[in-house]
Structure 1
Amino acid sequence: MTMTDPKKKLSAAEVRETAPAGWAQIMGSLKARYATKDFATGLALVDRIGASAEEMDHHPDITLTYTDVVVSLVSHDVGGLTSRDLALAKTVGDHARDLGVEADVAGLTQPDFGLDTRRHDDLGPFYAALLGSSLKNGEPVDSTGQVPTVWWQNPDEDEGGPQLPPSEVEQRWHIDVWVAADAAQQRLAAVLDAGGRLVSDAAAPAYWVVEDADGNRHCICTPEGR
């Protein structure tokens, strides 16, 4: 891996081309999900990651469950991904291989809830209080990762996306489901197999618009093409 300026913010294309196997950009973070299958192995992986993070002075967010370890990296000082994140990702991958643990890119998911409203300035504090979040740029954001971000979409504004056919249901909430770029087609196929309908792929690979049997629309999103 060729190292670059550690303060240089990388594009989605640069991340895709240089990220270690098993890692993918999900929204603004570089993530991996390791199927440890038992708690002891997961704890051992977290312990090794923690030691390396201290040595490199670059610290990830980690979720440890009985069967999985999810690692999320971002360079907060530049508000994006840098070579520091790629370097630590490689180290984490080395630790996982030593423990016989494999990454599951297809299992990476991050939901993001959008609300159609003209009153986001009034609603922001309410949803921040309801979710136990903090307001960042007017949107409720939870730094602990317990709840997804809530963002606003003004129904009076043209968002610049593809023109969609009229919906038969009134809908104000929708979910943007962020997945790895390489897993988007697999996720789309699963949604269609489960009774969903493809509304539009005009903005792919940035996002696909799908709807459920009741006509509620959501998006499968990736960092590509943005």
Structure 2
Amino acid sequence: MSDATPDPKARLTHDDILAAGLDDWRKVLNRLKARFRTGDFATGVALVDRIGAAADEANHHPDVQLTYPEVIVTLSSHDVGGITSRDLDLARRISGFAAELGAHADTSGLTQLEPGLDSPAPQHLGAFYAALLGGEVNDQGEPVDPSGQAPGLWFQKGERGESDLPAQDHEQRWHFDVWVPHDEGERRLQAVLDAGGRLVSDAEAPSFWVVEDADGNRSCICTPLDRG
């Protein structure tokens, strides 16, 4: 990023985000995400209160998940479908609040799940899954849940519903895209292998690795690297 005042409507690249030096935060599936270990509920509530006040002041509101031991914060600029300087500015303030309250950031294990469905005619499926999940259809024809209760769902088109993944002995139409930060992909892959999984393909690494469980069900571990 240059020293000039950034355009608050400009989408930032992953390199822009890394250059911002936000050690507490990671890009995960077009979102900026952080986990703050609070250790108790009262500290978490205090942090959420400060986040809420800062968000109202900036007119830029994150998604916040409060549980007993931690607060997870997700930032994105919905009007441009990505991360902007507005998100970076608010992220810095939130990190400051956490530090003042003694909550420490923990980027390990940050994850965003995106189920994918292989289909020869995905344009016919969006409305059904939006209704099933209690959401709505976005501009790309994909079902989304604005409340955040259900993960996003995307469709992968194939001749007979197959994906572009290597051939397998049985048909599989559902799979998980598990999005992790740029520095988490290899660790997550090793954890899967240690747990009895198998590496199917690393041809697109570090963008994604294809893995499968003991029954041959496949998933992808995805990062923001090498995506243009």
TM-score where L is the length of structure 1:
0.93
Paired with 2:165 and 2:154, the residues of 1 have a C-alpha distance of 20
Give the C-alpha shift of residue 164 in structure 1: 4.8
Q: How much identity, in percent, do the aligned residues show? A: 57
Moved more, 40-49 or 56-65: 56-65
Paired with 1:60 and 1:26, the residues of 2 have a C-alpha distance of 14
Paired with 2:166 and 2:128, the residues of 1 have a C-alpha distance of 32
Paired with 2:83 and 2:68, the residues of 1 have a C-alpha distance of 28
Match of 1:222 in 2: 223
Match of 1:79 in 2: 81
Give the C-alpha shift of residue 156 in structure 1: 2.1
Give the C-alpha shift of residue 31 in structure 1: 0.7
**Residue-pair matches, total:** 224
Do residues 146 (structure 1) and 153 (structure 2) align?
no
- Cα RMSD of the aligned pairs, angstroms, is 2.0
Paired with 1:184 and 1:83, the residues of 2 have a C-alpha distance of 25
Match of 1:6 in 2: 8
Q: Secondary structure at the match of 1:106?
A: coil
Q: Which amino acid aligns with 1:150?
A: L
| Unmatched 5+ stretches in structure 1 | none
Match of 1:99 in 2: 101
TM-score where L is the length of structure 2:
0.92
Give the C-alpha shift of residue 185 in structure 1: 1.2
Q: Secondary structure at the match of 1:47?
A: helix
Q: Which amino acid aligns with 1:107?
A: G
Q: Deviations over 1:129-185 (max 9, x none)?
A: 11111111211101111111111111229x9x9x75421222110000001111111
Q: Deviations over 1:65-109 (max 9, x none)?
A: 112211111112222111111011011001111111111211211
8 Å CA contact retained: 1:19, 1:86: no
Runs of 4 or more, structure 1, over 6 Å off, are: none
Q: Secondary structure at the match of 2:34?
A: strand
Give the C-alpha shift of residue 62 in structure 1: 0.7
Q: Which amino acid aligns with 2:188?
A: R
Paired with 2:21 and 2:118, the residues of 1 have a C-alpha distance of 35
Aligned CA distance change for structure 1 residues 126 and 92 (closer, same or farther; 3 Å)? same
Paired with 2:165 and 2:147, the residues of 1 have a C-alpha distance of 35
Give the C-alpha shift of residue 19 in structure 1: 4.5
| Unmatched 5+ stretches in structure 2 | none
Paired with 1:169 and 1:19, the residues of 2 have a C-alpha distance of 45
8 Å CA contact retained: 1:10, 1:80: yes
Aligned CA distance change for structure 1 residues 94 and 143 (closer, same or farther; 3 Å)? same
Q: Secondary structure at the match of 2:104?
A: coil
Q: Which amino acid aligns with 1:154?
A: K
Match of 1:31 in 2: 33
Q: Secondary structure at the match of 1:75?
A: coil
Give the C-alpha shift of residue 47 in structure 1: 0.5
Do residues 209 (structure 1) and 210 (structure 2) align?
yes
Paired with 1:68 and 1:39, the residues of 2 have a C-alpha distance of 8
Paired with 2:205 and 2:112, the residues of 1 have a C-alpha distance of 18
Paired with 1:164 and 1:150, the residues of 2 have a C-alpha distance of 18
